Amino acid sequence: MLPNQIRTTTVTLGPFVDDVGAPWPGRVTVTSSTPRVWAATGAVVAPRAAPVPLDDDGRATLTLPFTDQPGFTDGAGRALTGWTYTLALTLDGQEYARHTFALPSRLASPDGVHVDLLPDAATVGARGAGSAADAPAPAGRARRAGADGPSAGTALAPVPAGPDVPPACGVSRRDAFRAGMVALGAGAAISASASASAAQGPAPARPAGVLPLAQTINDDLVIGSTATPRTLTVKSSGAGGTESGPSYYDSTGRIVLEAYQPHFRWYGESIRVQLKDPRAKGMLTYQAHWPQPHYPDGDFTGRPTHPTYPVTIAWIGAHFLDNDDPSLLRNNLKHGHLNFEVPDSRGDLQTRLEIKIIDTTTGKIGTDRSAVRTNMADFEVGVGTQHEQMRIVGNDTRPKDLAFSLQHGPTQPRWVLRTTPQGANFQFLRYLSDARLVDAPLQLNRESGRVTVGGDDGTAAGLLVRRNGAAPAVMVETLAARDGQGVLVRSAAGDLQATAVQTDVVGDTQRRFVVTADGTHQWGDGAAARDTQLYRRAANQVGTDGGVFLRSSSTPATASNGGVLFVQDGALRYRGSRGTVTTIAPA
């Protein structure tokens, strides 16, 4: 919505009816000539083609600001007044009239302003609606709403911005394309048939602004001026390519730019977009018609109705400073990019891919390492029959990194996935919040495939495995037929008491069970020092510093080699390899 302080008036047009009184279906499209800023609030009022449909009675109602009121600036602090509006009236799908005018405050009225918009004489004649002498004057007469009679009308100040109507066409679209006629600007009527020959008499003078396709222009071509910008339109037709078209031929208008010059001192480019203001945007815009609905069960939730006229579906271009407040560095750091934008679900354009042209810290143009960013986007690599890949490439003298950081540049990494130079081993590097490298707690050796946890010096925290369930937390499955190995714990040379395996229970102050590097097993209750152990006493001897408890059991089976010592009914007994049971100590 416009700020409340802006003075506006209601502009009405119509009703537009035919000779029998039936209202015409159509629309009025209003476009202002220049962007402007309402200084009191900083609101940017930017021009765009705003279509307003005619109602059921053939009327249109617009609310427009007066063009001579103070309070607007050009965005750089300079006062701006005297912009213009262009109204384009379309009836039954064809443009009927167009007029460019100013809307001065002297037309202010409680009932608003009524504009009588009529085609000029040339258009009426071309449509066969009477002679030029009988045609009305050019469009653009306004009167205060409710006033009657010609004397109540005030001619809207016309702006010499080009014709009010498109050129009348006496040549079919297909013949015009085949004849190679291109309109540069508007205002000329092509009335001669494309098949007319020189034998029928001298060729008529070529209408101004119409050039044959093959003509060479030896001078610079300027369209419009700073005061009155103009648009170059290259017309196309669907006659050669639509599904219902009568035939198939090239009916697309083009601009073809030939190039021979190699790049030298910035020469060699075919299109040069000069951004005259640090906040200016030079964008390539794609517009399309949305069907209703434009996809099943979908809509732009921010729009009251589906758009029925061309809307922007893609925006590609570059700009530098922030539009709203370029004095703040944090605002400018969001911009300064070549960007690609597409609409979101509301129909608002959003940057999805950007390439920074500025240093992301200082905001200055030029950077030795540019940031390429996505926004509101997932980056996907489609994999097909060619087995496409996402790659980080470089020679073996440099590491290849994938960094997870807070911002662009080397200042705030958190984790880095790296392949090292030469051996190309894979590492997970961790950094402190001040960007200092700590270690690589996880490493994979490319030659052996070995996984190292804890870093080269073992300073990392190690490996924590948590398991909530009955299955093992860690399982090693050996696949070798013989001599398969599971787990190896290696201590430093001579450190026989290094702990190899240990266990405890939540709440313990001491380890309940420990196996040291020399194989000694130690047990405790978890509250005090371990008090029971089993160890190698000498060759072929197992020792303990306390007693050995044997639970009472039945007579065991005969051992094929050696014997079995057991307790039965309180007596200590021995059964040899021949099956003889000897009582060593009675109960």
CATH number of the domain that 75 lies in?
A: 2.60.40
User: Is the pLDDT confidence value at 440 over 50?
Assistant: yes
Q: Assess if residue 538 is contained within a domain.
A: yes
Compute φ and ψ for 113, nearest 5 degrees: -125, 135
More confident residue, 568 or 294: 568
- The pLDDT of residue 187 is 31
User: Is the pLDDT confidence value at 586 over 50?
Assistant: yes
Q: Assess if residue 226 is contained within a domain.
A: no
Highest mean pLDDT among 76-85, 309-318, 573-582: 573-582
User: Is the pLDDT confidence value at 471 over 90?
Assistant: yes
Single-letter code of the amino acid located at 112 = G
User: Is the pLDDT confidence value at 62 over 60?
Assistant: yes
Closest CA to 33 of 44, 46, 43: 46
**pLDDT, mean of residues 403-425:** 85
Q: How confident is the model at residue 293 (pLDDT cuts 50, 70, 90)?
A: low
How is residue 69 annotated by DSSP?
-
Where among 379, 404, 420 does a domain terminate?
Answer: 379
- The pLDDT of residue 243 is 57
More confident residue, 120 or 165: 120
Lowest mean pLDDT, pick from 101-110, 293-302, 306-315: 293-302
Tell me: do 458 and 540 sit in the same domain.
no
- The pLDDT of residue 264 is 78
- The pLDDT of residue 132 is 35
Closest CA to 276 of 98, 438, 75, 96: 75
Tell me: do 30 and 149 sit in the same domain.
yes
Length of the chain in residues, anyone? 587
Where among 361, 379, 397 does a domain terminate?
Answer: 379
What is the percent of the chain with per-residue pLDDT over 70, rounded to a whole number?
Answer: 78
User: Is the pLDDT confidence value at 482 over 90?
Assistant: no
Q: With contact defined as beta carbons under 8 Å apart, do 288 and 307 qualify? A: no
- 230-281 confidence digits (pLDDT tens): 898 888 887 776 655 556 778 888 898 888 888 777 788 889 899 999 899 8
Tell me: do 457 and 508 sit in the same domain.
no
Count of domains observed in the chain: 5
User: What tokens does 39 get?
Assistant: 């200084």
Tell me: do 396 and 374 sit in the same domain.
no
User: Is the pLDDT confidence value at 23 over 80?
Assistant: yes
Q: How confident is the model at residue 496 (pLDDT cuts 50, 70, 90)?
A: very high
- 173-198 confidence digits (pLDDT tens): 334 333 333 333 333 333 333 333 33
Q: With contact defined as beta carbons under 8 Å apart, do 171 and 181 qualify? A: yes
Tell me: do 143 and 31 sit in the same domain.
yes
Tell me: do 413 and 433 sit in the same domain.
yes
**pLDDT, mean of residues 47-54:** 92
**E strand intervals along 33-69:** 36-38, 43-45, 50-53, 60-65
Tell me: do 511 and 530 sit in the same domain.
yes
Tell me: do 22 and 150 sit in the same domain.
yes
**DSSP bridge pairs for 428:** 417, 442
Radius of gyration of the chain (CA): 43
More confident residue, 263 or 298: 263
CA distance 19 to 32: 32
Q: Is the pTM of this model over 0.75?
A: no
Tell me: do 44 and 129 sit in the same domain.
yes
Q: Assess if residue 489 is contained within a domain.
A: no
Q: What's the domain range around 130?
A: 8-155
Lowest mean pLDDT, pick from 53-67, 142-156, 409-423, 502-516: 142-156
Tell me: do 375 and 396 sit in the same domain.
no
Tell me: do 138 and 18 sit in the same domain.
yes
Tell me: do 411 and 519 sit in the same domain.
no
Q: How confident is the model at residue 114 (pLDDT cuts 50, 70, 90)?
A: confident
- The pLDDT of residue 466 is 92
Q: How confident is the model at residue 60 (pLDDT cuts 50, 70, 90)?
A: very high
User: Is the pLDDT confidence value at 144 over 90?
Assistant: no
